[in-house]
Structure 1
Amino acid sequence: MKKNTCLFILLSFFSLYANAQKVIYISPTGSDANEGTKERPLASLTGARDAIREYKKSQGKSVSFTVSIADGVYTMQEPFVLTTEDGGTAEHPIAYVAEKGAKPVFSGGKKISGFKVLENGVWEAKIPESKYYKWRFDQLYINDKRAVLARTPNKGFIKIEGIEENVWTKGEGRSPERAQQILRFKEDVFKSLHNLSAADRELVRFRAYHKWDFTIRHVDKVDDRTMALYTSGKGMKPWNAIKKGDRLILENYEAALDTAGEWFLNKEGTLTYIPLPGQTPENTEVIAPVLENLISVRGDFANNNLVAHVTFEGIAFKHSHSNIPSSGFEPNQAATVIPAAIMLEGAKNITFTNCEIAEVGQHALWFGKGCSQSALRHSYLHNLGGGGVYIGDSAPQEGIAHTSHITLENNIIQSGGQEYPPAVGVWVGHSSDNEITHNDIGNFYYTGISVGWIWGYKPSNAKRNIITHNHIHHIGWDLLSDMAAVYTLGKSEGTVVSNNVIHHVHAFSYGGWGLYPDEGTSDIIMENNLVYSTKTGGFHQHYGENNTVRNNIFAYAKMYQAQCTRVEAHRSFNFTNNVVIFDKGAVLNGAWNKIDIYMDKNLYWNTGGDTYDFSGKSFKEWQQTGHDTNSLIADPNFRDAPNYDFTFKNKKTIGKIDFKPFDVSKAGVYGSADWLGKSKLPPSILEDFDKVVEENLKQE
């Protein structure tokens, strides 16, 4: 009987669409047992995919498909998976598209209800799946915002007084395979841990922030007598170990649940939450993420059998879970070991347009191995546990497995690193010929755009990447160090970073640069960028070869305007036709007196006085070294530089250094007033950023 019913549905479907364009309808009120008509829609993306598969199989011919998606929320029971049989062709593409005026949301989460309000105002809900099946979640979303997992302290950090490591298994790498770390503290910071039950103690973990990275570990033991915390896992990396003065927080235990907005799930499956003012169980939506992956595109690039010509348009994807295992999270630059909510491999001509990815536990979207000719356009990525868009792989790939020709255009990528602070807005690893243009990237804790994944001068296939007309801002805060708005690595022939507007970049200790060519960056051009309000310089080169830095405006760094570090026996970079304006700090800091550079036709102007410190030399003494012989100290005639208006009142002075004005208004997203407005970070974030910068600088 069931078999006959399915056959009838399929025959009805084929009859309806035998002659016309193939349109399949899905709706939250539909059923995957329906035919997929407007009157009898399917219920899921997977149902639509399966209907397309059956049509292809039975009809034996290629046709175009449009999956028309009705408004509403679709609770996903499993990830939406596309394999090699699910692609289209250039002549007959496949599109998953929101109906006109609709804003469908595909959620990988589960609504939590049944809260009761205790006498102390705390909410409590029993979750049977957690009690009986050990379902746990490490993120929680309340009224479309990421709730705070119970932590101590509620604000700020616990400072580490000292650390020692006992190596258990050395292994063959630079860091031990297995080791114990003992973190010591100056005073008793474990008062909230003293009376924990054995069950709750198993859940306690800490987050330690050190240099450009961080570590999540569970706690093995707390020694109240010596004020020490014991943990174990991999040995610390010698180039970025946890050290005295680094900071941590404790989280994920009930005694830390002590302020509004915090939540905790105990081992018995009881979820507790302290509501924010005005919240009631009736006006509050609580969603726990379930699925760790929302979309998976899996082509067979090894056999040149790709998933191709598929479009997603007007769809929101939300509520993916990032599980923190018992081993925690070991330090990993840019959090490249974390997957994405939407993962693609072996894919070509895949496009996401006018989509939204939000409230996810990991990165939003990853064009992984074997992806090419694909794009993300006019999409809104925000409230991210990890980064925004990752392109390529952390290991070099050859042939068709090499990722290239990915376009990111006119996207808003904001408020990331909420679970994994080292994550970045856009990461380009071993990948070439990508174009990242007209995006707004803001409110990340590490780096805005990272390009290249080779440290030093070994061969790199991260070539010809174009980073242009992006607005990158409010990066770093005072959480991590050694970071920048644009960070590059390795040989980069053909790569151009131009016409970007970069501002408000800060770091906890060292770093906080606008443009940062790091280890081995070579043959890259950085031009026509406006960079202002950074901590330690608009520009810093660690080491590299034959880079070009020209026709940029570097303004109002807090400590130094430009830095360089390593001295090498080759031309490191050329620095020409730049305008440098500041009101405090040195002009140059670092190895400028020794490094092999060409530096000329630049303009320097101190709006805060008449002091010009060129790496310990006056301007005249600096010129006598052979640098900046045709450069000037002069007012560039900006309209209102202190208030960040860098348009020119006249071009007479800048003409003397052959500076070519560029239109900074063209950077960032473009389109409707609503779209432009969406790119503006809330005033509360801007104010908080300024506050932490001010407090951080007091400690310098």
Structure 2
Amino acid sequence: MPRQMIRTFLLFIGFSLSLINANAQVEFYVSTNGNDANIGTSDQPLASLTGARNAIRAHKKAKAQPSSYTIIITDGFYTMNEIFELYPEDSGTEEYPIIYKAADGALPIFSGGKKITGFEVKENGVWEAEIPESKYYKWRFDQLYVNDSRAILARTPNSGFLKIGDVQENVWERGSGRVALKAQQVLKFDEDNFQSLQNIDEEDLALLRFRAYHKWDFTIRHVDKIDKDSLALFTSGQGMKPWNPLKKDGRIILENYKAALDAKGEWFLSKNGILSYIPLPGQTIENTEIIAPVLDNLIKINGDATKNKLVEHITFEGIAFKHSHYKMPRSGFEPNQAAIAISSSIMLEGAKHITFSNCEISQVGQHAIWFGKGCSFSKVTHCFINNIGGGGIYLGDKAALDGVEHTNHITLDNNIIQSGGQEFPPAVGVWVGHSSDNSITHNDIGNFYYSGVSVGWVWGYKPSLAKRNIITHNHIHHIGWDLLSDMAAVYSLGKSEGTVISNNIVHHVHAYSYGGWGLYTDEGSSDIVMENNLVYSTKTGGFHQHYGENNIMKNNIFAYAKLYQAQCTRVEDHRSFDFSNNIIVFDEGVVLKGAWNKIDIKMDHNLYWNTGGDSYDFNGQSFREWQQSGHDVNSLIANPNFIDAPNFDFRFQNTETIDKINFKPFDFSKAGVYGSAEWKKKSELPESILIEFDEVVAKNLIKD
């Protein structure tokens, strides 16, 4: 060992031993002007999270008694050169935890990206920079962040979609499942929709790919070849899923080729390492920061529950994590619900008593946080999760893992989870797979293209591990837009004994075609209680049950769905659900739509009120005819006496009417985030997003 390294090591050991005090509290400091060869004092700080982890490891080996550790991180921008990884030996204990926290008043940012500089302005106004790592070492990236916003990969068309004329599939290898193992798809177009490909060159073709949107999912594929004579595009991969295929008139965009670089805010990286960007109004090279993500993960917590080697008692507090990458494989992205095939910026396995508090995760290419297999008794509180390529927080595994690998008892409280699905629209705000006993409370979940919360991962009535999940007092809004279908603010799958969905405010939920519900019990959802929810401004209903058993819908307010106020679909030989003590208020559409006349339900003591007229369509029947069928015998058509329902003020002037159906008022003002006025203000989506959402909805309804 070199003499200088020996001297530094001895100084570090001496310093570490001197830190032990009566409270067994050890502090290390991390700073942007630090060095991981330092000893970690405020005067000689470390430079990275990995350096701090290693300092804790060294101190543990040298100490004579247990210690708790606090890593104090000063303000600044930290470029991460490697993933921050923690293993069982990096654990704390209940009495002696380990805390990585921002210094008082500091907001440290840990970035997995690389700042791109050296841009020149070309005659056409396009900025260009040569990236040596791309030119000589073939480094490529699929996301780009400009002044903290996600830039647009060059695409055609710049808004809206091209339409597929027809689809032909050639199966190469069938396999034994419903989906062929290997197949080729030929997408054909008319002249107008193929026009942008007529002048494409071979270099562009090597990078060209498409995004196709269909039902509740989408596909990303690279292009094998194009035939300009037959106006066809050839691609290959898995066979199409028969329940969600590419098809005639499907929506598609083409991206990642230079000829598509023609709009402000777009970017393109050529094969020879030239990054091109068309600036937005007001952007100059001097006032613009451009960051390309490098690291696929920012944090990985690597425990092994099967060997009882967990990572435990670690807290992250007041830290921002940004700029993780999702590298698109050559195979593309095959359709998978909730985008569960992609990774996460922060990945945990075999973790217990892990806390993220007052942190930010933003500008990432995939999901933000995933508590994978073998995680338990952990929490995410008061975190700001936004501008994410995938989903917000994912709990559990996509495989049914019981025993020590079963993920359970995760608390998500008072978080802002917004603007997700930017790269993978099927992603959701909070996903609960094969996971139980979780608490999802007081979160603001908004601006997603599929569902806000998805709970359960079994289709039908097979046993499910997703039990006793509590989803309460959340504010879930501006979900779906006009992009995907068959989705909801709260979406459930499978048997879910003990699961409660209550006291949530849900509004502005819209879908491209069918779907766009507030609460949606799908595919065998059973034994779920949905009560005291306020649901308004949805497309096809405040509530829809596809099929399930023994669900309870009670004491909810369902208001102002555009087409139908409530739906049900499948008829089964058991009690599907109870629907009682609910208020439905509307001004357009029908009251009920679906299999209401045939399904086994208990439906009574509800109140219905049309603020736009005196039409009441109960699945093709009048209210009296509906009552004569044995349903809603003690229900009423009456004014519930809201203060101003058309303007979404659902407080009551008095309870004279609602007392007649035994409706119990609940305080929906408590839904959403809590705390300081600044934190609550932060949860409000920008006005531009709210306006755009309303415009999209209006256009979609005209189209329908």
Q: TM-score, normalised by structure 1?
A: 0.99
Instruction: Report the equivalent of 2:662.
Output: 658
What's the Cα RMSD here?
Answer: 0.9
Instruction: Report the equivalent of 2:698.
Output: 694
Secondary structure, counterpart of 2:193 in structure 1: coil
Post-superposition shift, 1:193? 2.4
Which of 527, 549, 553 does residue 553 from structure 2 map onto? 549
Post-superposition shift, 1:411? 0.2
Cα separation, 2, equivalents of 1:131 and 1:193: 26
Instruction: Report the equivalent of 1:330.
Output: 334
Deviations 1:622-649 (A, max 9, x none): 0011000000000100000000000000
Is 1:401 matched with 2:405? yes
The one-letter amino acid of 2:6's match is: N
Which of 134, 140, 151 does residue 138 from structure 2 map onto? 134
> Equivalences for 1:223-234 in 2 at 5 Å?
223-234=227-238
Instruction: Report the equivalent of 1:63.
Output: 67
Cα separation, 2, equivalents of 1:268 and 1:523: 57
> Equivalences for 1:473-512 in 2 at 5 Å?
473-512=477-516
Q: Which stretch shows the higher mean deviation, 641-650 or 222-231?
A: 222-231
Instruction: Report the equivalent of 2:25.
Output: 21
Post-superposition shift, 1:60? 5.1
Instruction: Report the equivalent of 2:165.
Output: 161
Instruction: Report the equivalent of 1:11.
Output: 13
Contact 2:13 2:62 in 1 (8 A): no
Post-superposition shift, 1:220? 1.4
Instruction: Report the equivalent of 1:685.
Output: 689
Contact 1:370 1:402 in 2 (8 A): yes
Cα separation, 2, equivalents of 1:123 and 1:7: 48
Q: Which stretch shows the higher mean deviation, 235-244 or 106-115?
A: 235-244
Which of 381, 388, 391 does residue 385 from structure 2 map onto? 381
Deviations 1:81-120 (A, max 9, x none): 0000001000000000100000000000000000000011
Instruction: Report the equivalent of 1:612.
Output: 616
Secondary structure, counterpart of 1:502 in structure 2: strand
Secondary structure, counterpart of 1:621 in structure 2: helix
Cα separation, 2, equivalents of 1:577 and 1:138: 50
Post-superposition shift, 1:164? 1.2
Cα separation, 2, equivalents of 1:672 and 1:620: 50
Cα separation, 1, equivalents of 2:13 and 2:526: 61
Instruction: Report the equivalent of 2:208.
Output: 204
Cα separation, 2, equivalents of 1:563 and 1:403: 33
Instruction: Report the equivalent of 2:589.
Output: 585
Contact 1:440 1:668 in 2 (8 A): yes
Instruction: Report the equivalent of 2:324.
Output: 320
The one-letter amino acid of 1:70's match is: T
Which of 364, 369, 387 does residue 368 from structure 2 map onto? 364
Which of 139, 149, 152 does residue 153 from structure 2 map onto? 149
The one-letter amino acid of 2:198's match is: H
Instruction: Report the equivalent of 2:112.
Output: 108
Secondary structure, counterpart of 2:651 in structure 1: strand
Is 1:40 matched with 2:44? yes
Q: Which runs of 5+ in 2 are unaligned?
A: none
Instruction: Report the equivalent of 1:273.
Output: 277
Instruction: Report the equivalent of 1:540.
Output: 544
The one-letter amino acid of 1:185's match is: F
Instruction: Report the equivalent of 1:412.
Output: 416
Post-superposition shift, 1:2? 4.4
The one-letter amino acid of 1:338's match is: I
Contact 1:9 1:33 in 2 (8 A): no
Deviations 1:179-220 (A, max 9, x none): 011112233323332233312211000000000000000111
Is 1:250 matched with 2:263? no
Q: Which stretch shows the higher mean deviation, 11-20 or 484-493?
A: 11-20
Gap change, CA 1:300 and 1:607, over 3 Å in 2: same
Secondary structure, counterpart of 1:524 in structure 2: strand
Which of 620, 623, 627 does residue 627 from structure 2 map onto? 623
Q: Which stretch shows the higher mean deviation, 17-26 or 398-407?
A: 17-26
Is 1:118 matched with 2:122? yes
Secondary structure, counterpart of 2:301 in structure 1: strand
Cα separation, 1, equivalents of 2:330 and 2:152: 20
Is 1:49 matched with 2:53? yes
Cα separation, 2, equivalents of 1:161 and 1:550: 46
Secondary structure, counterpart of 1:208 in structure 2: strand
Contact 1:188 1:224 in 2 (8 A): no
Gap change, CA 1:281 and 1:614, over 3 Å in 2: same
Is 1:191 matched with 2:217? no
Contact 1:412 1:439 in 2 (8 A): yes
Contact 2:495 2:526 in 1 (8 A): yes
The one-letter amino acid of 2:433's match is: G
Deviations 1:51-101 (A, max 9, x none): 100111122532100000000011000010000000100000000010000
Secondary structure, counterpart of 1:188 in structure 2: helix
> Equivalences for 1:281-360 in 2 at 5 Å?
281-360=285-364
Cα separation, 2, equivalents of 1:123 and 1:191: 26
The one-letter amino acid of 2:18's match is: L
Contact 1:188 1:227 in 2 (8 A): no
Contact 2:20 2:67 in 1 (8 A): no
Cα separation, 1, equivalents of 2:207 and 2:240: 22
Contact 1:343 1:366 in 2 (8 A): yes
Secondary structure, counterpart of 1:24 in structure 2: strand
Secondary structure, counterpart of 1:520 in structure 2: strand
Deviations 1:350-374 (A, max 9, x none): 0000000000000000011110100
Cα separation, 1, equivalents of 2:11 and 2:116: 35
Contact 2:101 2:316 in 1 (8 A): yes
Cα separation, 1, equivalents of 2:121 and 2:385: 34
What percentage of residue pairs aligned between the two structures are identical?
70
Instruction: Report the equivalent of 1:82.
Output: 86
Cα separation, 1, equivalents of 2:187 and 2:198: 17
Which of 214, 217, 221 does residue 218 from structure 2 map onto? 214
Contact 2:152 2:265 in 1 (8 A): yes
Contact 2:8 2:38 in 1 (8 A): no
Cα separation, 1, equivalents of 2:291 and 2:527: 48
Post-superposition shift, 1:9? 3.4
Cα separation, 1, equivalents of 2:517 and 2:695: 19
Which of 603, 606, 609 does residue 607 from structure 2 map onto? 603
Which of 65, 69, 72 does residue 76 from structure 2 map onto? 72
Deviations 1:598-636 (A, max 9, x none): 000000011111111111111000001100000000010
Which of 654, 658, 677 does residue 673 from structure 1 map onto? 677
Is 1:530 matched with 2:504? no
Is 1:634 matched with 2:632? no
Is 1:172 matched with 2:176? yes
Is 1:454 matched with 2:463? no
Instruction: Report the equivalent of 1:558.
Output: 562
Cα separation, 1, equivalents of 2:491 and 2:303: 31
Cα separation, 1, equivalents of 2:229 and 2:140: 33
Cα separation, 2, equivalents of 1:66 and 1:269: 42
Contact 1:12 1:35 in 2 (8 A): no
The one-letter amino acid of 1:14's match is: S
Contact 2:527 2:552 in 1 (8 A): yes
Post-superposition shift, 1:242? 1.2
Cα separation, 2, equivalents of 1:460 and 1:475: 27
Cα separation, 1, equivalents of 2:353 and 2:433: 20
Q: Which runs of 5+ in 1 are unaligned?
A: none
Cα separation, 1, equivalents of 2:467 and 2:482: 32
Cα separation, 2, equivalents of 1:340 and 1:668: 25
Cα separation, 1, equivalents of 2:220 and 2:530: 36
Cα separation, 1, equivalents of 2:58 and 2:65: 11
Secondary structure, counterpart of 1:523 in structure 2: strand
